[in-house]
C-alpha cells in the first residue's frame, strides 16, 4: 500500500485519533486559519467593502473574532486589571465597525495575537476547569472551546461568501 500524504493544514484530519483536547484545539485552529486565509492578499479597500446589508466585512470579521477570543478566554480565564466581559449584543455588533486605522495587516496581527494568547491561556487549564460567567453562571474550558469552534466556523463561512463576492475565490484552503 502506498504512503498516504495528508495536507498538514488539515489539523482536524491529523488529530483524527487524538484525545479530546487535541481534536478541539485542531478544529478551532483550522477555522481560525480559514478566516486568515480569506483576507490574505486582499487590499484594505477590498477587505472593508460592504457586500451585504449588515456591517459584516472581511476586515470586520477579523476585528470581531479578535474580540471574541479576548472575551471568551482572556477575560474569563485570565482577566487583567480593567478587563470587563462584554455581555451586550450592541457591544459585540460594534466590534464589526472599522476605524480608519484598521488595515488588513493590523487586524490580522491583532487577531493572531488574540489567538496566540487564547492558546496560551487554554493550555494552563484542564478541559473541566470552570470559571464564573456573568450570564451563564459557570462555563468550563471545554464548553468555551466548543463555543469558539462554533463561532469561528460560522464566521469562516461568512468570510468564504464575502471573499467569493469580492474576487471569486472559494474554498477552505
Q: Where are the domains of the chain?
A: 11-167
DSSP structure class, residue 2: P
What are the residue ranges in the chain where pLDDT is below 50?
1, 8
C-alpha cell at 14: 491529523
Query: Whole-angstrom Cα distance, residue 117 to residue 74?
Result: 7
Q: What is the pLDDT of residue 4?
A: 54
CATH superfamily of 11-167: dinb family like domain (1.20.120.450)
Length reported for the chain: 173
47 in Cβ contact with 144 (< 8 Å) = no
How far apart (Å, rounded) are the C-alpha atoms in residues 113 and 106? 11
Under DSSP, the state recorded for 102 is -
pLDDT at res. 1 = 45
Which pLDDT does position 122 carry in this prediction?
A: 98
Amino acid at each position: 500500500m502506498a504512503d498516504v500524504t495528508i495536507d498538514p493544514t488539515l489539523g482536524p484530519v491529523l488529530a483524527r485519533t487524538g484525545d479530546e483536547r487535541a481534536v478541539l484545539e485542531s478544529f478551532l485552529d483550522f477555522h481560525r486559519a480559514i478566516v486568515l486565509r480569506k483576507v490574505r492578499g486582499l487590499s484594505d479597500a477590498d477587505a472593508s467593502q460592504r457586500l451585504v446589508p449588515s456591517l459584516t466585512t472581511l476586515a470586520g470579521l477579523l476585528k470581531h473574532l479578535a474580540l471574541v477570543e479576548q472575551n471568551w478566554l482572556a477575560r474569563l480565564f485570565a482577566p487583567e486589571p480593567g478587563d470587563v466581559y462584554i455581555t451586550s449584543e450592541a457591544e459585540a455588533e460594534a466590534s464589526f465597525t472599522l476605524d480608519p486605522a484598521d488595515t488588513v495587516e493590523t487586524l490580522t496581527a491583532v487577531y493572531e495575537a488574540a489567538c496566540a494568547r487564547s492558546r496560551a491561556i487554554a493550555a494552563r487549564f484542564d478541559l473541566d476547569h470552570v470559571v464564573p460567567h456573568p450570564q451563564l453562571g459557570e462555563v468550563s474550558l471545554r464548553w468555551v472551546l466548543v463555543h469558539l469552534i462554533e463561532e469561528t466556523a460560522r464566521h469562516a463561512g461568512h468570510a468564504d461568501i464575502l471573499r467569493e463576492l469580492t474576487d471569486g475565490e472559494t474554498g477552505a484552503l
